[in-house]
Every structure is written in C-alpha cells, then in structure tokens.
Structure 1
C-alpha cells in the first residue's frame, strides 16, 4: 500500500471541485475561511479555477475540465494534499481524465466523501494508494475548530492515530447563518453492535465509502476490489460503509450483489455509518436490512458509527490497517 507522506508545515494543500463547486455566498465565505485557517496553521493553500463554479447540473465543469483541474494539483510537486470542495452526482465523469498512475507513483493525500468515493475507491483498490474518506474542505472553515476537524488535519499530519467516537451528531439539516458554524449537537452518538454484543473488536485493512457510489463502480474499469482483497487477505478486510439515499430493498440488493461477487469473503467485520436518508415501505430498520444479507457471514457488524453524511465523521484512511473497538455505545478506531 502506497501511504503518502504526512503533511509538514510549509507544505501545500490544493483545493478543487471534483463534483459540484461552491456558489452559495455563505458556503463560499466558509471555504475562504477554511483556506485562511489552514494557512494560519502553517500551510500554503491553493485552489483550482473551478472551486467557485457550478452549472445547471450541479457540476463545476465538464468531466474533462475537472480532470484537468485535479491533474494540475496531482502534477504540482509542491502539493502534498488535495481536498475536495463538495460532493454532488457526477464525479464519475472525470475519472477517465485523472492521472491515477502518476498519483500512485507520486502519492499525495486525497480527501473527500460522498460522491468523491468515485476517486477514493479506485485510488485505493485499483492503484493501491491510501486516501481519506472524510470531510470536505469547508469544515475547516468553522470557528473555532471542533475536535473532529482537529482530527481530520491530525490524521494527514500523522499526529492523530486514535479516533474516539464523538459526543453528539447532526440528525437534521441546518442552514448556515454566519458561515462559520460548527457541528450541531442534535443527538447523542450511540454506536450499535449488530448482535447486541457487549464489545466488538475488529482488526484489518480498511476499505469502503459511500455505498450509493460504490455500487455503480462495481464491474467497471475503476473497480479494483478483487485485486485489493486478494492482496490483503492475510490482514483481513474491514468494510466501512454508509449510505446517502437508499431504501431497504436497494441496500439489500446491492449488499447481496457484492456478497455474491465474493467481495466479502475475506471480511473480518463491517462498520456502518449513520444513513442520511433511509426509507422502508415494510417498516424494516436499517440494521435489519443489512443483517438480512450479512448475518450469515458470522463476522462482527457495527452500526451508527461516526462515518459519512451525518457529521461529524471520522477521517478514514482507506487502505490502512486499523483496529476498531465498539462497546457501551462508543467506539475507537486506531491506525496500526
């Protein structure tokens, strides 16, 4: 596994809009402040031209244009980290234009979530290069920084090796008033062990992201799952997954598909984040839907963890080895 060098003061962080760009005035204010605050931490921060652009489809440009923008950062020897501006729906349009080969031979951190799974997942599974499934750059624009944001920078600086579940999470959509807001404490964080175990402990190599995105990468030239799980089968695989907008039938269908393809054969366990939008016409819970497919694998399964759209979220180094412990509604993820 190619692990990028940890950031050091004076390094350059590049910001680009891989899917949608930032045009809302409060969100622009937040991103601009994020860049200032990262600069105050000792980093040079640059942005591509598409950062504050968005067309009628919610894209910062064509796939070719977005590919050109990220390649400028990939080929810039001073850039040590690339952060996404936002998610969206059409990140896959730029995949054919990204110089993954160069990035794998000259690794630097890529960080993003949601639609950015399009980049994180092939980078890890096909090009054997670690990447971070974590917050967009705008979160660094809150004032003051909360612990999850400190963690997000600490992970790529190499100073944060152990992540502890957070106290509370955002269960509702909140609009910005100042642009500098932190995470809202709507509900208490409570991890759930799938079979009601007192404690779960899982060790293995991390892979995952947004399930909505992973499923349309499966079987394409950007799907390196089989190579990845076979290469690291002696470590065992920890699947970390979360969903943006899936019904119970959709989750069941796609997990069944992945299971039938053999993608879970070396799984040491699963950890699921909090689903953003979930619906069941038969009143089936999210946990029941997942367990109906995965229960017979007889490996630990954790739900409602700090991963994904209902922030705050862990910065997950996909491709890294980790140990995860879940007990009494709280959890720890430690990179090993």
Structure 2
C-alpha cells in the first residue's frame, strides 16, 4: 500500500469538482476554504468547481481537471469540492498511470467514493474518506472537522464517538445536533468457521450486545450506494486488493446514503457472492442518511437474521454528522463499549 506524503503548512491543495459544482452554495464553500487557508494551506481550484449544475462539467472535462491536479507537482493533496450523483461518469478519463506516478492524498466523501475506491483497490494507493473541501463551513467548526484537519496533516489521532448527532437528516446551513449517539453491536452467537462465509444459513445467529468489543483489520469502504454501482466494472479492484493482502483481516466500513434495510442486506450478500467478504473481520455501518420506510431496528433485524459476522451499526461514519475520517488501506481498530466507540488507525 502506498501512503502519500501528508501536506504541510504552506503546501498547495488542489480542489476539483468530480461530481457536483458548488455554485449554489458559494458562501459556505468560501467559508470552508477560509478554514483550510487558516491552517496554512494554499488552494488551487480547477475551472469547474464553482459551476452550479449537478454535473460541474461534462465527464471528460472533470477527468481532465482531476488529472491536471494529479500532474501538478506543486499540489500535495487533491480534495473533492462536494458530493453529488455523477462522479462515476468521469472514471474512464482518469489517467491511471499518472496517478501511479504521482501518488498524493485524494480526499472526498459521498459520491467521490468512486474515485477513492478505484484508486485504493485497483492502484494500491491509500485514500481519505469523510470530508470534502466544502465540509468546514460550520461556525464554529466542530471537533469532527478539527479531527479531519489533524488527519489531513498526518496526525493520525484516535477518533472517539461524539455525544450528539444530527437527527434531522438535512443538508445546508441549519445544523442541529439533537440526538444522542448510540452505536449498536451485533455479535454472532457462535464462532464463524474460517472459509464458511458470512451469511446465515437459517435461524438467527446474531444478537445485540453492549459488552466491550474490539476488531482490527485493513480498512476499505465508502458510500455503499456508490460501491454497489462499481461492482463488476473495470474500476472495481476489490479482488486485486484482497489478493494483495492475502489472509489479512479486512474491516468494511459502509456509509449508507439511501438504502433501506432489505437493500442494504442484499448489497452485503452481493458482496459475499462476489467473494469480497471472505476475509471480513467486521462490517461497520454509519448512520443511514435516508432510511426510506426502514427504522433502525429494521436494519438490525435484517442484519442479525441474514449475517453471522460482527456488525457495528449507527457508527459516526458518513453523511449524518458528526463523522470520522477514515483512510482506505490503513490498518484500523474499532472499539465498542456500551453504545460508544472509537477508531484508531496506523499506516
């Protein structure tokens, strides 16, 4: 695994828009960039960042702007401006040899999963998930945003679950951390035999637990809605990733944007059928942004009845803030106890 050099004070950070432009939210975006500049970073934006459309530009233009930042040796990290829906369109225009020759931190959250997952699984370069260039617009900034900046600088702190989260699933300036954080843990009632797979073959092999639990493995994941669309494409390097690291345990972390409970279980089953869960030590799932008709208990019931692998649910990961920053390719240790949790990472 290639771990790029972390950007230092005075370094140049490139910002591109591989998905949506930020033209509809210029004031908070500039506030976020001011926060990064206050850390000593210089910012270089590509031409499409401030466009307003759901596609900041056509796919080829987005790919070309990304490649320009990767080729620019002054740029020490490349951060996506925002999320969106159409990042997957630009993947054919990424110059993979250019990325290999100039490894640098590629950072994003939500739709930019498409780039991060491809670069880590296919090209064996670590990437950073959890924030975009527009993430730092809260006033004052929250501890999760301070943590993200620390990790961007290379200070790989242990992240602790927070006390409250944004219960109302909203985007924009209105942030109300109004709901107590409570991680949920499902543990198999019997030990899974090596090579026997993660799927339940009948019965209910999982039970919720409040006891202390810790698991270590190589981290890989992102927005599950995006990963689903990558499966089986030329940009899905999961098989290569698992082969490179042999029998090393893997922790899958999933940021569920809009999968209801049955859809999430079917996605994990599909991953198992692809052979992608064979070394899975655990699955860590964030708070679901848009649950559809499902409630938290529906997710727990589906996972408990369909799987037999440790699952942490409602973790501080993903769209529902506050959230952790995770490094794809790092070794991570998740620890759970009495509804709270932490993540320690090492490169």
- TM (normalized to structure 1)? 0.92
- Partner of 2:232: helix, strand, or coil? coil
2:184 counterpart of 1:192: yes
Report what 2:135 is aligned to. Answer: 139
Native 8 Å contact 2:67 2:98 kept in 1: no
Report what 2:41 is aligned to. Answer: 43
2:325 counterpart of 1:315: yes
What are the within-5 Å matches in structure 2 for residues 1-336 of structure 1? 1-24=1-24, 27-55=25-53, 58-174=54-170, 176=172, 183-194=175-186, 195-197=207-209, 198-280=211-293, 285-295=298-308, 299-336=309-346
Q: Deviations over 1:74-100 (max 9, x none)?
A: 111011111111111110110011123
Native 8 Å contact 1:248 1:284 kept in 2: no
Native 8 Å contact 1:131 1:319 kept in 2: yes
Instruction: Provide structure 1 residue ranges, at least 5 long, that are not aligned to the other structure.
Output: none
- Partner of 2:271: helix, strand, or coil? helix
- For 1:246 and 1:308, the matched residues in 2 are separated by 13
- For 1:162 and 1:200, the matched residues in 2 are separated by 16
Q: 1:226 to 1:116 in 2, by over 3 A?
A: same
Native 8 Å contact 1:115 1:210 kept in 2: yes
- For 1:252 and 1:208, the matched residues in 2 are separated by 16
Q: 1:204 to 1:59 in 2, by over 3 A?
A: same
Superposed CA RMSD: 1.8
- Partner of 1:288: helix, strand, or coil? helix
Displacement of 1:260: 1.2
Judge which range, 299-308 or 159-168, deviates more: 159-168
Native 8 Å contact 2:15 2:46 kept in 1: yes
- Partner of 1:269: helix, strand, or coil? strand
Q: Any runs of at least 4 consecutive aligned residues in structure 1 with deviations exceeding 6 A, and if so which?
A: 281-284
Displacement of 1:115: 1.0
Report what 2:198 is aligned to. Answer: none
Q: Deviations over 1:43-88 (max 9, x none)?
A: 1111111111133xx1101100101111111111011111111111
- For 1:213 and 1:303, the matched residues in 2 are separated by 19
Q: 1:268 to 1:175 in 2, by over 3 A?
A: closer
Displacement of 1:334: 0.4
- For 1:200 and 1:33, the matched residues in 2 are separated by 39
Native 8 Å contact 2:169 2:290 kept in 1: no
Instruction: Provide structure 2 residue ranges, at least 5 long, that are not aligned to the other structure.
Output: 187-206
Q: Kindly tell me the number of residue pairs found equivalent between the two proteins.
A: 325
- For 1:88 and 1:201, the matched residues in 2 are separated by 34
- For 1:137 and 1:285, the matched residues in 2 are separated by 34
